[in-house]
Structure 1
Amino acid sequence: MLALASSTFHLDPLIYDLGLILCSAGVAALIFKRLKQPLVLGYLIAGFLAGSKFDYFPTVTDIKSVKVWAEIGIIFLLFSLGLEFSFKKLLKVGGTASVTAGTQIGGMLVLGYLCGTALGWKTMDSIFLAAMLAVSSTTIILKTFEELGVKTRRFAVNVLGSLIVQDILAIIILVLLSTIAVTQSISGIALVTVIVKLVFFLTLWFITGIFFIPSLLRYAGKLITEEMLLIIAIALCLVMVILAANVGFSPALGAFVMGSIIAETTKAEQIEHLLKPVKDLFGAVFFVSVGMLIDPVTLQHYAIPVLILTLVTIFGQSILATTGSLLSGMPLKQSVQSGVSFSQIGEFSFIIATLGASLGVTSDFLYPIIVAVSAVTTFTTPYLIKSGDHVAAFAERILPRKWIKNIERYSANAQSIRAQNDWHILLRKYFLHIALHASIIIAIVLLSEKFILPFAKDNSSLRFVVALGTLFAIAPFIYALGWHKTSEIQVQNLLNNKRYRGPIVMMVLFRFVLCVLLVGFLIDHFFSTLFAIILLGVFISLYLLFPRKLKSQYAKIERHFIHNLNEREIYMRNRSRSDLTPWDGHMTSFEIDPASDISGKTLEILKLRELFGVNIAYIKRADFVIPTPDKNEKLFPADEIFIIGTDEQIQRFSKFLEDHEVHPASTIADPDISLNQFVLKNETFIGKSIRDSKIREETSGIIVGIERRGNRTFNPESDMILEKNDILWIVGNRRKLIDMIESYRE
């Protein structure tokens, strides 16, 4: 017993190091939270203190193990980022965010490379520097928006949309950098090959994931506890990480892709909630590990480059993002507000720096320099975002009046509703159709060749059976690629124009030729010429004898995929964006705090419209919605009120609510409430005031905007007289609005 008591236990260095890292991170988090500074900056300083470059603090002993933890941190950061991303979201943010992000990243890539070259650094250092400076920090921007309470501001919509596009472009940059680092050269053919390979695998993974994963989570249903759901989510993430690594891509890409797939399921919010503590834990370890690489001696030696790159990041990102926003059609004020929000680098810069260091293609000084630039720009970000209004006002004062008029005119034209023509719609659907089905066919053939064909070895009969089975597997997709009709309305419209008949015929022929080539691709991987002819005959027979069966089978597959793809949207009841109106107005929501002294008061007593100029579109109370509440409606604890107003109106209203302990809500809109626009032509309403028109009573809606001869009135007064050709913007019950528009349309 005494011997046992006196024995000492051996503590693994990994446990000691993890304890030191988390203690340092915890203390730093408390201090920086108290100082109202970004936690990432605290983690970086904590890492510096725990690293080998600082002698007055306990030091991490096993750097190799810490790097493993940090790599896990990167995986969970990207997985969590993917959960917040949706491929549908990318389509919804549209051209505005794409132009902003594309202009910013493209410009910073050029600017970063020129800076590296001017500083006399080698080519690979300059390339990696350009990539590090190009991507802003999603984490820092989102945290800053939350802390400053500006997520309800209109410019934030453009910023958040641009961040989605940036994350996609950053993943592509990461993959391209891996190729450049391995080949040590920039080959146009090699880069095109990598991009094609990336698109192929992304398409394949997304289609397969959407087809199977929502079904898996749905069928498991009530059997899955929160613990099981977290384990399944992490398991799926790591499976995709392994797949990505095996085909030559970054593990971070696999984590991001799996996150974006799960983002389309009904369990996305629950998984994101369960994963948050895990992400925060490993994310802290990652940022602390980055801080360990800060070398004061190196920074002192490279103080001038750090200063130059910091200024390039702040001013370059801000100016390029502002330019991109202007090009996309955003007004000057919102463009400037968006621009200053992007003036930092963060997690992706660290990931890119880690990639360069791990592959041994970048110099040792580059990592600590980037960490220093990130730390400074992280610190300045909140102040720059706060100054957005003042910077915009300053820009309006110094710019020539003619420029401002041109910007306003360009913005108004860009924000007007423009329909795509039939030819553009047809082309988009045509190429998407080909890309999706060709990817599926090629993947099935390659998988069959790699995993099933080896069992046949040199047995010709078995090879024929495997090939025939593969042909049956791809038959529905071959049918869809060659014969499934797409864009029928657009095709019929375009056939009436002789100009488009030739191109449409060529497009149809190309699909047939591609089908033959893909069947030939299958045959080439399995057979000699004799068997090829036989298999081709089987393929033709299948189509001639069973066209309806093939069509039915494909329709079944397509229905299953579309159901899974739209499952979350149906589950979330098609929540609309907060950006509803065509001008500066938008909708946001607030939740009535149980302790608020406005609880129990009627809207007539509160006089929200008279005091702040805002309208209440509807109130969400428990499981039902009160559309366009009247003046006698009372507000109760836990009510969600949905407010329509401009940035300034909502800001004043938000301040009023803060004084009365009312908190912003997490949701934005309800499926039964939507914004609709129509031109007033019917005599029923013309010449009447808004109050006398009874539109509110008929549609349970509010007229939030009127456009008359180019002049716009937001939240018009109820005594405003309606005139012919007024463009009305009404928020209300979707079904009633549509019925009214249809019944009064001439």
Structure 2
Amino acid sequence: MTHLPNLILDLGLILGAAGITTIIFKKLKQPLVLGYIIAGLLVGPHIAIFPTIHEIENIQIWAEIGVIFLLFSLGLEFSFKKLVKVGGASSIMALVEVVVMLLLGYLSGKLLGWSTMDSIFLGGILSISSTTIIIRAFEELGVKSQRFAGLVFGVLIVEDLVAILLMVLLSTLAVSQQFAGTEMLNAVLKLGFFLVVWFLAGIFLIPTFLRKASKLMNDETLLIVSLALCLLMVILAAQVGFSPALGAFIMGSILAETTKAEKIEHLISSVKDLFGAIFFVSVGILINPETILTYAGPIAIITIVTLVGKSVSITAGGLMAGQGLKTSVQSGMSVSQIGEFSFIIATLGLTLNVTSDFLYPVAVAVSAITTFTTPYMIKLSTPLYKFLEGILPEKWKRSLNEYSSGAQAINTTSDWKIVLRSYVVNLVLYSVIIIAIVLLAARYLNPFITDNFINGQYGDIVTTTITLVFMAPFLWAFAVYHPQKEALGRLWANRNYRSLLIVIEFIRIGLSILFIGFLLNQFFPVQVSIVVGLAIVGVLAVFSKKIQKFYIRIEQRFMMNLNAREIKAASKMHHTLTPWDVHLTSFDVSHESVVVGRSLLELQVREKYGVNIAVIERGDRTIMAPTRQELIFPGDRIYVFGSDEQIEKFRKFVQSEADLQVERDRAEDVKLQQLVISETSPLLGVTIRESGVRERTKGLIVGIERKGQRILNPESEFRFQVNDIIWIVGSPWRIKALEAVNNAVIDIR
């Protein structure tokens, strides 16, 4: 009989057990993750009824590969653009939850008498929810289209990034074995630096490579190339001191921005499922049932802390973000579980030998219990909301409603805010790029040149010259480039701001000179660096136009790669919707646009310009076939369907009217205001059209509350009655002026 290696025997046993439990759990309609864990428990060394694996060490290596591909797959679904599109509400909710659960986990561990490191890792384990379990529960319950589901998806995106940060911080803490604020700050800055470098370099290089090689790639080749890129980033991350899982996640998020993202995700799914199953089975193998029985009390306590802590913290975060009681409660009840990232954090503690053996099975047990409770928690969210609404005092409910409405104010963005934000973004991005180029030149390029081509000082000169060529476009962008020329021009037109703008320009130029000095100081004495640096500034000034053209080409290539998926989607939409001499195009609504706050009925775009607004994109929400009562908000992307002449006419209308509006009206906030009709109000008994509220306040009535019922976007023939609460999107000072005109007979809140 031919001898089989134990690795193959173990792998066959693992996959056989996983296959059987998968079928059973599919039949029971339970999460497959729990089935894999139970399969590992059955074939592990702690249960002798079934065949047992021979070499746990080999299985742990397979499990590490599983973590890599699991994180790679999560990165493919992540996309940094999704993080940018996540609203402030989801970010606030996620951050509140993470902070609260880190604290509760740590305190729970200390109260149970655990060590400091066990308590810290417990906090990290409890702070991250399970994306897989939540998505599956939403699909089964049919709530994916509800408002709170969108908020929860945003929370999960932020949590994924926080989990990566936690892995870095916990690794640093485990190595140092002390709360060193300096080391933690260095770890965060180091992570941020490499994230920016990897993302910018990846987006610039990888989509271009995939596009140029696309004709040579079939499914097999694309799969191999994707896995190779993943493992190369894993190696790179390990080389600079990060976990391999982080490298896999970063490469996945880079590939998520390419046109091949969906194809790669489809091809990688089988590989991910295979190694993911091995990982989760290995989780079960490490569980000792006796440990779970021994720590049944702590497991029960930690489960309650997880269910209550996550629900309350997310609900509190939602209320802080102005999302209302119902949405906040539904969101909080949906994320009360732990999952994949929690296992990875627990595995990290074991790998670093800083956590006790019992913490891992305790985390798995809590995850199993909270996985089962997730659907029931979601179902109980609505009854809980009704219960809370019934017991809360009217004053509290009114305050929550007012706060929720006030948090939805639409604030105009000032020119200063636009310009300063662009300066800060440029400062961070170009500083990181320039520093990365200098460090690469000093550590790798210079040794390569001096060892293989030119020795001594001449080798340093050659290295400096090559590095300056690569740095030049980014130095120019750092010191001279103005991405917000229109806003900057409006500020420059005001003489009061010119001196400050000049100071900012000098600061940018001064920092650029310091970067040149930073490069020269790597190879030459300080005195030589100063003299040569000033000479280099002069040379760069002479070749400024050529450097500018080169930089613009770099920026265009980067933006084309970054927006490749959207460009491809738009081109498909363009070809499928142009049977006549018409097409679909899109443009963004600026904060100053005159269409902001106005409904499609009011704009009458079809009647006046012959075009149709087919789709409105608002953050991560897409409004298909919007009704005539739909309002336009700043930052919306509207898709307009019509001929070239009609679209151009509509575009000119929006832009010219926006310019006139900016000149005519002073800068002001637009907020959601509340008015109550009294018995002596002149608006009593008149219709919305007759009231003249729109003309007087330059606002729009978007809702009316009457006897506890809410009417959204009322018709213009709607008549006001006593105690009607009117909701107006408009300027606060104009609404107060309306109050004065009516001799304060309208009660304004």
Q: Which amino acid aligns with 2:319?
A: L
Q: Return the letter of the residue paired with 2:241.
A: G
Cα distance in structure 2, aligned partners of 1:412 and 1:353:
41
Q: How far did 1:22 drift? A: 1.3
CA contact (8 A) 2:226 2:264 kept: yes
Paired residue for 2:166? 173
Q: Separation in 2 of the partners of 1:520 and 1:643?
A: 57
Distance 1:410 1:303, change over 3 A: same
Query: 1:520-539 to 2 correspondence within 5 Å?
Result: 520-529=517-526, 531-533=528-530, 535-539=532-536
Matched, 1:508 2:502: no
Distance 1:127 1:187 in 2: 14
Contact 1:44 1:375 in 2 (8 A): no
8 Å contact 2:34–2:368 — kept in the other structure? yes
Does residue 390 (structure 1) correspond to residue 383 (structure 2)? The answer is yes
Q: Is the 8 A contact 2:703 2:714 kept in 1?
A: no
Is 1:199 paired with 2:189? Answer: no
Q: CA deviation at 1:171?
A: 0.5
**1:641 Cα deviation (Å)?**
12
Shift in Å, 1:359: 0.7
Contact 2:704 2:712 in 1 (8 A): no
Question: RMSD of the alignment, in Å?
Answer: 3.2
Aligned to 2:444: 451
State the match for 2:92 in structure 1.
99
Match 1:272 to one of 257, 262, 265: 265
Amino acid at match of 1:92: K
TM-score of the superposed pair, with normalisation by structure 2: 0.77
How far apart in 1 are the matches of 2:247 and 2:41? 30
Deviation at 1:189, TM superposition (A): 0.7
| 1:612 alignment partner in structure 2 | none
Aligned to 1:426: 419
The amino acid that maps onto 1:512 is I
1:401 matched to which residue of 2?
A: 394
Aligned equivalents of 1:501 and 1:194: distance in 2?
39
Deviation at 1:543, TM superposition (A): 2.0
The alignment partner of 1:707 has SS state of: strand
Which letter does structure 2 place at the counterpart of 1:464? Answer: I
1:219-298 paired onto structure 2 within 5 Å:
219-298=212-291
Distance 1:374 1:57 in 2: 25
Change (3 A) 1:258 1:710: farther
What CA distance in whole angstroms lies between the structure 1 residues aligned with 2:178 and 2:614?
Answer: 63
Question: 1:422, 1:494 within 8 Å by CA — same for their partners in 2?
Answer: yes
Find the partner of 1:570 among 558, 567, 572: 567
User: Which of 676, 693, 707 is the matching residue for 2:702?
Assistant: 707
1:688/1:396 CA distance change after superposition, 3 Å: closer
Q: Deviations over 1:411-446 (max 9, x none)?
A: 112223223333333332221111111111111111
1:291-310 mapped onto 2 (5 Å cutoff): 291-310=284-303
Q: Helix, strand or coil: the match of 1:330?
A: coil
Name the amino acid aligned to 1:314.
L
Is structure 2 residue 515 aligned with structure 1 residue 518? yes
Give 1:731's aligned residue: none
Q: Does residue 125 of structure 1 match 2:124?
A: no
> Residues 350-404 of structure 1, C-alpha deviation per residue, up to 9 Å, x if partnerless?
1111111011001111111111111111111111112221122122112222222
Distance 1:506 1:222 in 2: 52
Task: Work out whether residues 294 and 372 of structure 1, in 8 Å CA contact, stay in contact via their aligned partners in 2.
Answer: no
In the TM superposition, what is the alpha-carbon distance from 1:531 to its structure 2 partner?
4.6
Q: Is the 8 A contact 2:614 2:639 kept in 1?
A: no
Letter in 2 for 1:456: T
- Greater shift, 199-208 or 110-119, is seen at 110-119
Whichever residue aligns with residue 265 of structure 1, its letter is: T
Partner of 2:113, secondary structure, is coil
* Displacement of 1:309: 0.3
SS in 1 for 2:570: coil
Q: Aligned in 2, Cα 1:403/1:500: closer, same or farther, shift over 3 Å?
A: farther
Q: Distance in 2 between matches of 1:541 and 1:375?
A: 66
- Show the counterpart of 2:542: 545
State the alpha-carbon separation in 2 of the partners of residues 562 and 628 from structure 1: 26
Structure-2 change in CA distance of 1:726 and 1:115 (3 Å): closer
Partner of 1:54: 47
Distance 1:719 1:221, change over 3 A: farther
Q: Deviations over 1:273-322 (max 9, x none)?
A: 11111111111111111111221211111111111000000010011011
Does the aligned pair in 2 maintain the 1:108–1:130 contact within 8 Å?
yes
Q: Deviations over 1:580-604 (max 9, x none)?
A: xxxxxxxxxxxxxxxxxxxxxxxxx
Distance in 2, matches of 1:481 and 1:182, equals: 37
- One of 408, 433, 438 as aligned partner of 1:440: 433
Query: Normalising to structure 1: TM-score of the pair?
Result: 0.77
Determine if contact 2:78/2:253 at 8 Å carries over to the other structure.
yes
Residue 553 of structure 2 aligns with which residue? 556
Q: Is the 8 A contact 2:437 2:467 kept in 1?
A: yes
**Structure 1 contact 298–368 (Cα < 8 Å) conserved:** yes
- Quick check: 1:468–1:535 contact (8 Å CA) kept in 2? no
Maintained 8 Å contact 1:38/1:144: no
Name the amino acid aligned to 1:312. V
Could you say if the C-alpha distance between residues 69 and 495 of structure 1 is closer, same or farther in structure 2, counting changes exceeding 3 Å? Answer: same
Q: Deviations over 1:624-664 (max 9, x none)?
A: x99989xxxxxxxxxx996879xxxxxxxxxxxxxxxxxxx
- Local SS of the residue matching 2:50: coil
What SS does the aligned partner of 1:387 have? Answer: helix
Match of 1:162 in 2: 155
1:586 maps to what in 2?
none
> Amino acid of the residue matched to residue 525 of structure 2?
S
For residues 207-261 of structure 1, what are the alpha-carbon distances to aligned partners after superposition, in whole Å with 9 as ceiling and x for unaligned? Answer: 0001011111111123211111111111111111111110001111111111111
**8 Å contact from structure 1 (residues 80, 272) kept in 2:** yes
Unpaired segments ≥5 residues, structure 2: 574-610, 616-621, 628-636, 643-650, 658-685, 690-699, 721-725, 731-749
How many correspondences in the alignment?
616
Q: Name the CA shift for 1:333/1:188 in 2 (closer, same or farther; >3 Å).
A: same
2:314 equivalent in structure 1: 321
Q: What do the CA deviations read for 1:319-365 (whole angstroms, capped 9, x no partner)?
A: 10111111112121111111011100111111111111011001111
How many angstroms apart in 2 are the aligned matches of 1:152 and 1:673? 26
Contact 1:43-1:284 at 8 Å conserved across structures: yes
In the TM superposition, residue 102 of structure 1 has moved relative to its aligned partner by 0.4
Match of 2:336 among 336, 339, 343: 343
Structure 1 residue 500 displacement after superposition = 5.7
Q: Which amino acid in structure 1 is aligned with residue 71 of structure 2?
A: L
Deviation at 1:493, TM superposition (A): 4.2
8 Å CA contact 1:706–1:714 kept in 2: the answer is no
* Residue identity in the other structure for 2:55: D
Partner of 2:664: none
- Residue 462 (structure 2) pairs with residue 465 (structure 1): yes
Amino acid corresponding to residue 91 of structure 1 in structure 2: V
- Counterpart AA for 2:140: E
Cα distance in 2 for residues equivalent to 1:43 and 1:644: 45
Q: Superposed, which structure 2 residues align to 1:633-652 within 5 Å? A: none
Which residue pairs with 1:655 in the alignment? none
Q: CA deviation at 1:555?
A: 1.0
Aligned to 2:587: none
Aligned equivalent of 1:81, options 71, 74, 77: 74
**Residue 572 of structure 1: SS of its match in structure 2?**
helix
> Do the aligned residues in 1 keep the contact of 2:134 with 2:335 (CA within 8 Å)?
yes
5+ residue gaps, structure 1, are 1-7, 577-624, 630-639, 646-668, 680-686, 691-704, 729-746
Is the contact made by 1:449 and 1:525 (CA closer than 8 Å) also made in structure 2?
yes
Contact 1:41-1:379 at 8 Å conserved across structures:
no
Identical aligned residues as a percent: 50
**1:580-619 matches, cutoff 5 A:** none
For 2:571 and 2:502, the matched residues in 1 are separated by: 38
CA contact (8 A) 2:704 2:711 kept: no
1:474 has 2:467 as partner:
no
